[in-house]
Structure 1
Amino acid sequence: MNDMRLRDRRNPGAPIIPRDGWDLPPWNRWTNQHVREMTATAPIWRGDGPVRPLPESLQPLGDIMVDFREGKRSVDEFLKESSTDGFLVLHRGRIIFERYMNELAPHKQHLIHSATKSFIGTLAGIVEDKGLLDVKEPVIEYLPELAATAFRGATVQQLLDMTGGVFFDESRNQDSHLQKLYLANGWHDHNRPDWPRTVWDLILTLNIAARPHGASFHYCNITTTVLGCLLERASGLSLADLMSQEIWAPMGAGEDAYITVDHAGLAAAAGGMCATLRDLGRFAMLLLEGGSRDGRQIIPHSWIRGTRSGGVELSGSSRQSLPNGAYHNQWWIEDTRRGTLWARGQDGQIVFIDPDAEFVAVKLSSLPNDENYTQRRLDERPALLAIRATLSTT
C-alpha cells in the first residue's frame, strides 16, 4: 500500500481508514498524529502561563555508532529503521538533538499509547501528596462498587505496581477482554450489543481472579484504567482537567495535550494520551529536576525519589528487555542501580529519564507489527544508552 496515500487520505481515491483497527499498522503511521479525527477526545489545557523555554545546543548525534545485537548501525539508521516520527534528546537542560520525520511537526500531538500510564502514576503521587488519596488503602475505599468484582482486596499501590490479581485477557483473540476494551473506550465501532457499552460497565464484569493480589508483577491495561477511575473519584475532576491543573499548565507546556474518552466521557488512562514531542520533553525535565519549576513543587520530590528507588521484580519478556529493571508507580525502572525512569508505548513511544546523567530522550514512533517488531523494541535501549555514554564524556 502506497505510504503517501496513507498519509494524505483526503486525496480522491485514497483508502478509507477502517473504524475498527485504525490504531493498528499500517494505519498508525497516519492515525497516531490524527487521533482526534478517529475517536472522541478531551483537551488537556496548557493554561495561560508562560511556556517553559528549552534552550538549544545542537550536536550531530545521528552519527553515533551503536552496537546492536545484529551488528553496528548509526543512530540515524536506527531512527529510520524503527519507524520514528520524532526524536528528542536533552542534556544538562538543553536540546542537543531533535528530529521530525513522517510529517510530524513541533506543534503536532502524537499518540503515546501505554506511556500514558506513567502520567497516571505521577498524578497518583500528586493526589496522594494533597491528602486526597492513600495508596495503602484498598481500592474499594474509593470505588466501593468494585466490592462485587475481583478487584476486592487489592490496594491502590498494588494497582500502581501492576501486582493486581484480576483476570483480564490481553490477547487479540476475537472475544478477549482487550477487544471488549477497544469497543468500550470508543476506539472501535460498538458493533456487539451484548458487550459492555462503557469502560466502567466492562470493569464491573471482571469477577474472576487469576492470582492473589500482590503475588507477582503482571502487566495489565485494565489495572491503569481502574486507577483513572479512582483518581477522578478521589479528586472530583475529570482526568483531563486533573492533568491540566496538576501537570500540564504548571510545567509550562507549549501546546495543549488531549486524551481519548469513551461514550460516557471516561478517559483512556491506559493508553489514550496525545502530546507534542517537546512537551513530553518538558515533562521529563520536570521529573529530572526533582518535580519543581520556578519555586513551585509540582510533583512531590519524595514521590520521585521513592519511584526511582523502589519497584517490583519483572518477569518474562519484560525481564529480557530490562535485565536490571523493575516496575513501580506505573513507571518502568530501566536500571534499579541508577534509578532511570522509562515510560513506554506499544508503537515505540519512549520517555527516558536519567537524572544522574542529566539526560532525557523522547521517541515517538509508529512501528509496523511485523516479524522484526520485537527486535526493534529491543534495539531502543542500546541506542539510548549509547547516546548517553557519548554525552557523558563531553
Structure 2
Amino acid sequence: MTSYRNSDPAPAIMQGSPPQMVPPRLDWDRPPWNRWAFQHIREILPTVEVWRGDGPVRELARNEVELDDVPTVDSTGAPTTLAGHLDETYTDGFLVLKGGAIAYERYFNGMTPRTLHLSQSMAKSVTAMVFGILVGRGLIDPAAPVTHYLPELENTGWRGATLQHVLDMTTGVRYSEEYTDRYSDMGQTDVAAGWKPIPPGSDPAFKWPTHIWEQILGLKETERPHGEKFVYRSIETDVLAFTMERVTGKRLAQLVSEELWQKIGAEESACFTVDRAGYALADGGFNATLRDFGRFGQTILENGGGIVPPAWIEATRNARHGPQFNESLPDGSYKNQFWLEDPKSRTLMCRGVFGQLIYINWDYDMVVVKLSTYPDFGNSAYSVATLKAIHAIAAALA
C-alpha cells in the first residue's frame, strides 16, 4: 500500500474496535503504516520513560506570525507555499521558534501538542549532548581509546579507535547501513533493538544478534584506518551510550532525564525504545513532543543554556568535510553526532530518516523542528526543499 499526504483521504489504520488495519510487525515503519506508528511507538514496542521531573515547564512565549503563504519551492523546484511544502513532505508537526518564542506551530495527521513522535536519528544528537555534559564534568575524555572505557571491544573493529572517531563517525568499523536489506548490519540492528522480528523464511543457520551489545561485540572487521573518512553508521551512537552508562553506572534513559530533559524544562516525559536487555536505543529510539524538541534546540541555540558546556557546542559547530559532502548538504559536515549545514553559518542540525529535523541557526536566532513520515527512508529533494523553506521563513521573519 502506498502512503498518503495530509490532503489525501486517510486509510483507517488502527481505527475501530477491534481495529481492521493493524500495522504488520515487520513493516510498521514503512508506508503507509509509519504515518500512524511514529506517533504510537508505545503501543508497538517496549519503551522506558525519560522522566521530565517535577520541576517547572519552560514556558514558550507566543509571538505568532501567519506563515502559511510564505513563498518557497517544492521538491521539483516549482513555486509553492510553506503550507504546500508541509503537505508535500508528509509533515506531522512543524514548529518555528524565533528569539525563543513560538512564531509558527502546526500539527497534522492526528498529531497533538502532547503526542510523542519517533525521532529516528535525531536521538543521536540528544545522546551526544549528554555525552558532552559528561565530558565537561571530566568523566569522559573524547581523545581516549574506546577500549579504555569498554575493554571488551578490544576484539572488535573499534580496537585502536578513539571516542572522538566514534563521535564523528570516522572509525573504520565495517557496518552496512542499508535500510532496505533485512540482512544488512542495519537490518540486524532492527532485530537486535527489538524493532523487528527475525524475517520469516530467513536462513535458520544465520545468527541474529539478540540485543544491541551482542551485535557490537560481533562487529570484528574494519574497512579503512580509523579517522580516514566519515561514513554514517548508526551503531556508533550506541557505543557512545554504553560508554556513558559504564562511567556513570546509570542507564541511558536515566542519564537523559537527569542531565538534560529535567533541566530544559520539558513539558512532557519522553521515552526510548528498549531491547530485550533493557538497553535504550541511543541511535534512533527516542520519542518526544514537538515543543520539547524545540526546547532542546533552543537550549543549544543558547550555547548550552547553562546545561551543556558552551565549549562542547562550539566544538560541535567546527567541522569541515565538504565540498560535495552530502547530496542535500553539498557544503555540509558532521561533528559530535550533529550535521552542519555549511562552514559559514555553522548551523547545527539533528536529522533522522523519514524526514525528522531540528534546525538551529544562530544568525537567524531561530530553531525549526519538522517531524515527518516520508514514504521513503530518505528523500534528498524533500530535504533540499525543506532547507529552502526554512530560509524563506527566516527572510519573512527578519
TM category (shorter chain) comes to: over 0.9
Taking the aligned partners of 2:56 and 2:30, their CA distance within structure 1 comes to: 36
Equivalence for 2:311: 302
Taking the aligned partners of 2:284 and 2:107, their CA distance within structure 1 comes to: 22
Contact 2:191 2:210 in 1 (8 A): yes
Taking the aligned partners of 1:23 and 1:229, their CA distance within structure 2 comes to: 26
SS in 1 for 2:111: coil
Distance 1:128 1:13, change over 3 A: closer
Equivalence for 2:354: 347
| Cα offset, 1:278, TM superposition | 0.3
Q: Is residue 2:53 matched to residue 1:44?
A: no
Contact 1:39 1:187 in 2 (8 A): yes
Q: Is residue 2:227 matched to residue 1:214?
A: yes
Q: Is residue 2:71 matched to residue 1:65?
A: yes
Aligned counterparts, 1:218-237, within 5 A = 218-237=231-250
Q: Is residue 2:123 matched to residue 1:116?
A: yes
Contact 1:190 1:197 in 2 (8 A): no
Equivalence for 1:363: 370
AA aligned opposite 1:181: T
Q: Is residue 2:292 matched to residue 1:279?
A: yes
Distance 1:320 1:369, change over 3 A: closer
Report which stretch shifted further, 19-28 or 134-143.
Answer: 19-28
Q: Deviations over 1:164-215 (max 9, x none)?
A: 1100111232321111110000001246772111111111111111111100
Report which stretch shifted further, 2-11 or 217-226.
Answer: 2-11
| Cα offset, 1:373, TM superposition | 3.3
Q: Is residue 2:94 matched to residue 1:81?
A: no
Please, what TM-score do these two structures have when normalized by structure 2? 0.93
Taking the aligned partners of 1:231 and 1:175, their CA distance within structure 2 comes to: 29
| Cα offset, 1:356, TM superposition | 2.5
Equivalence for 1:169: 176
Contact 1:217 1:312 in 2 (8 A): no
Contact 2:177 2:232 in 1 (8 A): no
Contact 2:328 2:380 in 1 (8 A): no
Q: Which residue of the other structure, out of 154, 158, 165, is the alignment partner of 1:151?
A: 158
Report which stretch shifted further, 172-181 or 353-362.
Answer: 172-181
Distance 1:226 1:66, change over 3 A: same
Q: Which residue of the other structure, out of 313, 317, 328, is the alignment partner of 2:321?
A: 313
Q: Deviations over 1:204-234 (max 9, x none)?
A: 1111111111001111111112111111112
| Cα offset, 1:45, TM superposition | 0.3
Taking the aligned partners of 1:325 and 1:8, their CA distance within structure 2 comes to: 40
Distance 1:100 1:136, change over 3 A: same
Distance 1:290 1:323, change over 3 A: same
Distance 1:54 1:345, change over 3 A: same
| Cα offset, 1:10, TM superposition | 4.0
SS in 2 for 1:140: helix
SS in 2 for 1:304: helix
Please, what TM-score do these two structures have when normalized by structure 1? 0.94
Taking the aligned partners of 2:15 and 2:175, their CA distance within structure 1 comes to: 36
Taking the aligned partners of 2:182 and 2:261, their CA distance within structure 1 comes to: 37
Contact 1:161 1:311 in 2 (8 A): no
AA aligned opposite 2:66: P
| Cα offset, 1:100, TM superposition | 0.4
Identity %: 42
AA aligned opposite 1:33: Q
Aligned counterparts, 1:116-135, within 5 A = 116-135=123-142
Taking the aligned partners of 2:52 and 2:87, their CA distance within structure 1 comes to: 31
Taking the aligned partners of 1:141 and 1:6, their CA distance within structure 2 comes to: 52
SS in 1 for 2:350: strand
Q: Deviations over 1:93-122 (max 9, x none)?
A: 210100000000001100010111111111
Equivalence for 1:387: 393
Bigger fraction of residues in helix: 1
| Cα offset, 1:315, TM superposition | 7.5
Equivalence for 1:335: 342
Contact 2:73 2:385 in 1 (8 A): no
Equivalence for 1:98: 105
Taking the aligned partners of 2:11 and 2:326, their CA distance within structure 1 comes to: 39
Q: Deviations over 1:113-158 (max 9, x none)?
A: 0111111111111011111100000000110000000110110001
Unaligned ranges ≥5, structure 1:
none
Taking the aligned partners of 1:32 and 1:173, their CA distance within structure 2 comes to: 21
